[in-house]
Amino acid sequence: MTQDENRAAAEPRVEFDDSGRSTGIELTEDANNGGRTEPFDPNRIEVQPRNTTISLLLQRLQRGALDLAPDFQRRAGIWSETNQSRLIESILLRIALPTIYAAENEDESWAVIDGVQRLTAITRFVDPTAIEAEPLRLSHLEYLAEYDGCTFEDLPGRLQTRVLETELVILLIRRGTPEAAKFNIFARINTSGLPLSRQELRHALIPGQARDLLAELAASDQFLAATARSVSPDRMAEREMCLRFLAFKLTPPEQYTTQNFDDFLRAAMHRINKLSEHELDQLRESFGYAMAASVIAFGADAFRKQFRNRPRRFPVNKALFEVQAVTLSNLSPDEIVALSPQRDVVSARFKELMDDPEFYDSISSGTGSAATVAYRFQSLKDLFQKVLDA
């Protein structure tokens, strides 16, 4: 079997969610994704334990000084009505809750990283209007069954006081700690079974309009059509794909020089947070154009590996998403129209490109290095130019 046939026959690895279901995204390795090229200065890292009460945390939430990132919800189903009720029951029984991890922002607000679902359940029970949620009505309690069906207001006053005065332990990473250090610290936390994905961490630690834009693009009809609705939103993989596109629109591939792809994506989110509405509209338009062009050029195989001797359909590949979408977004409408009847030619040339070990590696491992980024973008650019010049 040839080297190409070995690559084509290899079963692609995929990313999984907490329940073990495929996210529909091929697992790739970004060079130094989350790794460090320089050591941290330990004198700039400050982690401080804080003891606070549920009442004080709710006051923070009401003032906008506590960020629960309400759409940052890990796997639906883990926190059912029963799970949430049992958490409240633990509080009523004076059972200590696990430590909550948070980061302090420059404005002294706290971004909760680990403990979002716990605090969301507590808020939904005590003050649901603070997160615009339906009130939690206790159900399937194990030891306090007499309170099944109760809301917070239905509890006796002494139990309401017990809930509000319950102390929680917060491990707070203080502002002034380098952002890269915060990401490194939180990436090590594993209190809920599966560590947070890199995009879940970016979402939690970098508030602002970038969050909203990524959520909007990932839910857009254009994205869903181009990816054949095959990408699960459970671990925010679809938002990372959109972010990769935006990052290379803001910083053209030829200007990409870093060896740490995670730093690059974080910087892109910060930059998006500072854009005007007009600039955001330009990115939206470019994204929609790229998604439509990808369907024209690749059809149902957009963003997926293709091999000449392997007809199977592969999962979406993040590196292919960024390189195909960004490259096509830079072609003119006339050039996209010219590609429309050439889909078979594009597919044939792309399968030939997949025979190139250097290109294959550039979308499979070490995908965040400057050399691999440059190689895959130049390769796709050359491919389309050859088709258009034929």
If one counts every other C-beta atom within 10 angstroms of the C-beta of residue 276, the result is: 8
* CA–CA gap between residue 247 and residue 214 (Å, rounded): 11
Give the helix ranges, DSSP H, for the chain: 3-9, 54-62, 81-92, 116-126, 157-164, 179-187, 198-205, 209-218, 221-226, 237-250, 261-273, 277-298, 318-329, 333-339, 343-353, 357-362, 370-389
- Residues 27 and 164 sit within 8 Å (Cβ to Cβ): no
pLDDT digits (tens, 9 = 90+) for 17-58: 544 455 677 777 665 554 455 556 777 788 899 999 999 999
Instruction: Return the pLDDT at 193.
Output: 53
Instruction: Return the pLDDT at 310.
Output: 75
Instruction: Return the pLDDT at 352.
Output: 95
Q: DSSP 3-state assignment of 332?
A: coil
The pair phi, psi for residue 102, each rounded to 5°, is: -145, 160
- Residues 203 and 159 sit within 8 Å (Cβ to Cβ): no
* CA–CA gap between residue 93 and residue 97 (Å, rounded): 11
Residues of the chain with pLDDT under 50: 1, 8-9, 18-20, 34-35, 73-77
Q: DSSP 3-state assignment of 222?
A: helix
* CA–CA gap between residue 124 and residue 131 (Å, rounded): 7
Residues belonging to the chain: 390
pLDDT digits (tens, 9 = 90+) for 243-293: 999 999 999 999 999 878 999 999 999 999 999 999 999 999 999 999 999
Instruction: Return the pLDDT at 19.
Output: 47
Tokens 């890199």 belong to 198
Angle separating helix axes 237-250 and 277-298, nearest 10 degrees: 110
Instruction: Return the pLDDT at 285.
Output: 98
Instruction: Determine the Cα angle at 23 with ends 18 and 29, to 5°.
Output: 95
* CA–CA gap between residue 288 and residue 226 (Å, rounded): 10
Q: Is the dihedral of CA 145, 151, 152, 153 positive or negative?
A: negative
Domain residue limits, the chain: 3-35+206-389, 46-176
Beta bridge partners of 304: 316
Instruction: Return the pLDDT at 277.
Output: 97
Q: Residue-wise over 290-303: b if at least 16 C-beta within 10 A, else e?
A: bbbbbbbbbeebbb
Instruction: Return the pLDDT at 6.
Output: 52
- From its phi and psi, is residue 366 left (phi > 0), alpha (psi between -120 and 50) or beta? left
Q: DSSP 3-state assignment of 167?
A: strand
